[in-house]
Structure 1
């Protein structure tokens, strides 16, 4: 445009160049440079957004994509990057499903061994201690009874661990009963007040979906007991807008983004497994809220 303007306009340049002509030439050069810089900035802005997304993308938070406009090289690069994210998220979901299935199988095996082998052995020890204490004289009887009580408490703890590893009540009585039992056990062992609310019209869910909801609630309660310094916990399960939403909230000190450890990453892995959305909000003044939304339509329902 500048060249055409110089060719068509009745503009001449003196030799040597006079001051006014030099000012005009320099001003035109500055205008062209500024216009080129603005055009380059506009043209390369999608690359800046792509760079920022590359540095922050997290496969455990699916759906992060850049909009594609036009048909140029930059648009094709963004389109290719979005397609790569689609493949990576699908592969991550598949690998997470395999890992979680193997983890649950190992949990069931350990729970079965705790219940069938360790539990039965401790039960046999408990019966022998009772028989010995019934036949012993004082003060040996008191010592045997004390050992019997310690063994009984240890057996209860082994059974509790087995229930945590393999929630049999979930398979036998369903999700609501399993969550009720989980929160009751949590309140007993921590002393925290727990409020529960379950919608009466919850739709039927696939076994793996119920297991994910249970495990997220279990991990959330564990985090509350370990880190929140809370006094009250609320757990709800609602059916709304085509989804089942599990909500766990406490009145503790909250967490920071930097505090997302293995427990929260594990929750995100499980959410990815069933196509759910996990949202964690935290405030030092009001505590932490964990929300898991599972769609009730499609293959995950």
Structure 2
């Protein structure tokens, strides 16, 4: 039944019932109308309006659910569908809305995969150039400064040694940025070694106390899954260091029979009512690429907690 005939039928039921009452009820209307008759007529009108409103609310309830879902739907949280019952115009509208969400989520996943792949390729290129070009140039400058300091008179030697130390610190910073852009240890030594280096680096440069725990005998994962786990851990540490005013961060990597779970908790101020920024939405996009579940909320002892659950391949599970 279309929406038009649904509303028409509901009103017809109400008006038909009111007409039947007027025909068979022992009620007459005098001229002029007396008070009791006016009360009966007004009461009947009120009952008719209330019944009509109740029936319309029942008939249009699916549209209310559709409106609420349209205002809250988020493509980074897939699976938000409306139940479709019966046939007719309203059911077809709900079915079309669900199919539209299917297409949008598929297109979003495809475009996100292309964008993140291009982003990783660009990060790899920039990291390689920093390491090969900038790093080698600064290494050459460092060697020249050392030779100049060895041959310089005592009055200039201190200044040259200071410039040498500054150049060495800048070279270390360039190498650290290159490692963050593209962690070579992830490709060479695996996820556990990469996370160990990451937490050590953050603890050294931010002053935070970073505690880590890895389950032994972690099952093998696809390279894409390892990269997502690394990037989510990296973004979680960055958020805790920059925005949460945390002093301690706990990073745990464990596995169950069907998944590998990454937990990052801190003792900072938490998220509160702050909206999700680009960093968190980027984590959600990465989680969708490997069908992982990302949960961000308050930690068990305050602060924030980021939990990424990566399902294992069927053969590994």
User: TM-score normalised to the size of structure 1?
Assistant: 0.92
| Offset of residue 121 of structure 1 | 0.7
What does residue 145 of structure 1 align with?
161
- Tell me the SS of whatever aligns to 1:228: coil
* Paired residues of 2:265 and 2:299 also in contact (CA < 8 A): no
Q: How many residues matched?
A: 300
Which segment is superposed worse, 84-93 or 289-298? 289-298
* Matching residue of 2:28: 13
Question: Considering only aligned residues, what root-mean-square deviation do their CA atoms show, in Å?
Answer: 2.2
Query: Which deviations, in whole Å up to 9, do the C-alpha atoms of 1:23-67 show, x marking residues without a partner?
Result: 434333322221111111112122112111111211112122222
Partner of 2:109: 93
Q: What residue ranges of structure 2 are gaps of 5+ in the alignment? A: 1-16
Q: Partner residue of 2:138?
A: 122
Aligned to 1:240: 256
1:247: Cα distance to partner?
0.9
How far apart are the structure 1 equivalents of 2:271 and 2:130? 34
Residue 81 (structure 1) aligned with residue 97 (structure 2): yes
The answer to whether the Cα contact below 8 Å between 1:253 and 1:285 also exists between their aligned partners in 2 is no
TM-score of the superposed pair, with normalisation by structure 2: 0.88
Distance 2:51 2:173 in 1: 74
For residues 121-270 of structure 1, what are the structure 2 equivalents within 5 Å? 121-240=137-256, 242-270=258-286
Aligned match for 2:119, one of 86, 103, 114 = 103
Alpha-carbon distance in 2 for matches of 1:297, 1:35: 56
SS at match of 1:184: helix
- In the alignment, is the contact (CA less than 8 A) between 2:266 and 2:299 conserved in 1? no
What SS class does the counterpart of residue 249 from structure 1 fall into?
strand
Conserved? CA contact 1:253–1:284, under 8 Å: no
User: Please, which runs of 5 or more residues in structure 1 have no aligned partner?
Assistant: none
Q: State the shift of 1:223 in Å.
A: 0.8
